[in-house]
Amino acid sequence: MRQNGIVFAALVIVILGMLASGKYLSRTRPHGPLKLVGDVRGVLAPDFTLPSLDGSKVKLSDFRGKAVVLNFWATWCPPCKEEMPWLADLQKQYGKDGLVVLGVAMDDSSPASIAKFASEVGVNYPVLLGTDQVSDDYGDVQYLPTTFYLARDGTIMDKVTGLVGRSEIEADAKKVLNTSYKPISTMQTQASAGGGKTVAVKQAAKGSGR
């Protein structure tokens, strides 16, 4: 009986150790409530206002009507560096069609270092300085790069984590470019005529600009 007690005590110590180390290692900072969890497709992208490298404030919802590629990255992330020139090419090629690439830098480097890095890899789109709050809002963005593809109405069409091929990135960008957006005033008018705001909003989200 005494031997059982010793074995049990040893097991408890080992298990508590596993719990403690797991908790310690799983995070480097506590985070607040996560707004985006699980399958985020079809969910309205959380709005934010972030400072950009040029000193201006950038509000995500100001891009309503545009197709947005929201790319979280960091200067210490080599796979991020690999895809940034591709994103710059997309901005150049499809900017006239309404594509907006927004880079969100998730590191502690100085804005000057981030700007130097972005310039070196040929970034031609706004780079915003990310915060823990925005990371939490987007589901605790830990794995970089992470890219959200936002339809013109601001809903998330896809979330891609890790580096994928250039053609896959372009295909996702084209998908969001091919969405449509009707301003709220138009939707409200339609909703009154159609007997329900919800119906009109769903139609706007599903609509295609092709």
Residue numbers at the binding site for other proteins (CB under 8 A) = 4, 8, 11-12, 15-16, 18-19, 21-26, 28, 74-82, 106-107, 109, 113, 117, 142-146, 161-164
Furthest CA-CA distance within the chain: 79
CA distance 144 to 72: 7
Nearest to other proteins of 131, 178 (CB atom): 131
CB of 125 to other proteins, least distance (A): 20
CB of 76 to other proteins, least distance (A): 5
CB of 118 to other proteins, least distance (A): 12
CA distance 123 to 100: 12
Nearest to other proteins of 110, 208 (CB atom): 110
Residues 6+ apart with CB under 8 A from 139: 34, 35, 36, 37, 40
CA distance 34 to 136: 5
CB of 169 to other proteins, least distance (A): 13
Nearest to other proteins of 93, 113 (CB atom): 113
Nearest to other proteins of 42, 79 (CB atom): 79
CA distance 146 to 137: 13
